[in-house]
């Protein structure tokens, strides 16, 4: 699996909040943002899997 570059434009206040959150975890802003995106993607995929399982078993 390769990597790609994603460039964002965000306002100064958001960047400062990201820096603070990343620093609390001992991470770079880039690593913090990537981990957040990965976690959100997992949550969405997990929820979709739960919904499909509920449909399969007829759970409402």
Say what the alpha-carbon torsion angle 35, 1, 41, 10 is, to the nearest 10 degrees.
Answer: 60
pLDDT recorded at residue 60:
61
pLDDT recorded at residue 18:
96
pLDDT of 2-60, one tens digit each? 889 889 899 999 999 999 999 999 999 999 999 999 998 888 899 999 999 988 888 76
In this predicted structure, the answer to whether residue 1 has a pLDDT above a threshold of 80 is no
- Whether the Cβ atoms of residue 60 and residue 54 lie closer than 8 Å to each other: yes
Q: State whether residue 20 is helix, strand or coil.
A: helix
Q: Which residues contact 27 (CB under 8 A, 6 or more apart)?
A: 35
Taking the C-alpha atoms of residue 33 and residue 10, their distance in angstroms, rounded to an integer, is 12
Say what the alpha-carbon torsion angle 31, 21, 18, 3 is, to the nearest 10 degrees.
Answer: 10
């Amino acid at each position: 699996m390769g990597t790609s570059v994603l460039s964002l434009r965000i306002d100064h206040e958001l960047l400062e909040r990201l820096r603070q959150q990343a620093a609390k975890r001992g991470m770079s802003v880039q690593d913090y943002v990537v981990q957040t995106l990965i976690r959100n993607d997992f949550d969405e995929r997990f929820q979709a899997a739960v919904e499909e399982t509920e449909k399969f078993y007829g759970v409402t």
